[in-house]
Structure 1
Amino acid sequence: MDVLYGAFTFLYQAGDAFAFLVLSACGLAVIFGMMGVINLAHGEFILCGAYVSASAARLGLPLPLAILLGALVSGLVGMALERIVIRHLYDRPLDTIVATWGISMIATQGTLILLGSSMPGTGTPFGSFAVGPYTYSVYRLVLVGAALLLLLCLWLLFTKTRFGTLARATIQVPHIAEALGVNTNLVYALTFGLGAALAGLAGGLYAPTMTLVPTMGSAFVVEAFVTVVVGGADVFLGTAPAAAILGIVKAALTSWQGQLFGQIGLLVAVIVVIRVLPRGISGFILRERA
């Protein structure tokens, strides 16, 4: 029985790591993977979603609506920043890095000055369940379901809707899309806003599980970037398998030697994958299909 309990614990931890990587990376996969914008302020969009969600929940809004509100506010902030700053820096990656890093610093320090060093959380909902002598959070399983549902919704959005077609066309061949009458500025703004909203959604979903501090976004950024890099440019082909592989590696090493070894193993796995597959998992899949 101990072996069965250990196997369930490993699967639970791997699923939890998978959900964290997917939810952290989806917004970055849209902004960085699809648009090519190196967004160092990704963690601050997550921070925005978490703070707005927690504030709305404490004011009495049901948690699901509070999470959606956090995602909406993050998306609107992202669209505003795209219009004011990012739009002028497309095809200038070094300038984009500096600009988004500056936005990150302003957001982090501004939050610290205006709202203090921490914000009261909402508490993890749904309680826990027991398997043998061990207890597990039900909400962590909800996060796994949310990650899978989000991947499905993104696939439907970008492959089955007019917006998805226009977004992919604008990002791949903007001059032709503009010549055909597409409002490319609007498409860029909506796509960047979508990536920011997805980051805010991740923050809102994880707000009940974390201590809310102005630097909380940094807990997401590294793992989001490595997931996107391992997954490659195609969000739909790469993100899920990359998160699954990295989640298994992280869960295995964490259960063996603790959290530090899990993080080290994650980074080593990234180095190995990008050495073997320089275009990521999606690049490998597309090459094999051809």
Structure 2
Amino acid sequence: MGTPPEPVEETSQPTLRRSRGTTRRLPRRAAIGKRTFTSTMRALEQLADAGARVSVHVSDLDNGGEVLAGDDHVTLPMGGVGVVPLLIEVAAGFESGALDPLEIIDRNSVEAVAGSGLWRNLRAPALPLSDLAVLTAATGDPLAANILLRRVGHHRVLARLDSLGLERTTVLDQFRDERGPDDAPHVAVGTTRELAALFSALVNAQAVDAAVSSQVAEWLSLNHDLTLIAASTGLDPFAHEHDRHGLLFINKTGRESGVRAEAGVLAGPRAGIAYAMIVCFDDLSIAHRLRAHDAFRILGLELMEYTH
């Protein structure tokens, strides 16, 4: 993946201003000569000025060094990114024999989730666990994810998170159309620092073991949502496992009302990075939403410059 050039000195430390009166540091610039993250910092500062909560972390795959960071220790809701530790537990179950990949489960075995998903529009009323893992990774299908969570057990996913050393990242609940007072407020929460480390472990064959890491990375390589950071890669959303230009890419996105999140790995001819970004914002209008999306795409462009 290449050796990063020598770092350059920082001349000042900008601040990320919040409308609520707190002070946040801007993400530090990438120490890669001209390959800086100035536009990303500007976009994040504008979001913070508008009251958004922002967290970002980018690390180098070769040496683990920090490339970019801002409030990466803060735990924030991350929506569907929470299926990644679930998929790791499922893959570990397949590998150990505790789960049968061909076990058929009916979708009516869990409460319906009407808001999104692909499986609810298919004729097949039941699918094997291995297909449910593919649906979960590729389309974020909430029914498939809920069935996997019920089958492996919430407690086992939490235990897996502990074994992976993730102290501020957890899966709170299944997907729901509506959340009542007795339900967890979010599907999952986490920090961008831990999410980037988790994706780095996956591509470096260190998430449980090489077989589990490879299986989960293969599932995530099928993800169809390339609308945030991944929009800048130019990859085909439906077939990007073997890019003709040698781009290695896996990712997972998360969406809730007022929440956008993405974590992944991007590697090109000059460098490879693991990244994660979460933005929590007031979703008052399409304009508010598009400003948040723009920040992800700006980071994506600068990540492409960094790796190429």
TM-score normalised over the length of structure 1: 0.32
Of structures 1 and 2, the one scoring higher in RCO (CA 8 A, sep 6+) is 1
More helix by percentage: 1
TM-score between both structures, scaled by the size of structure 2: 0.31
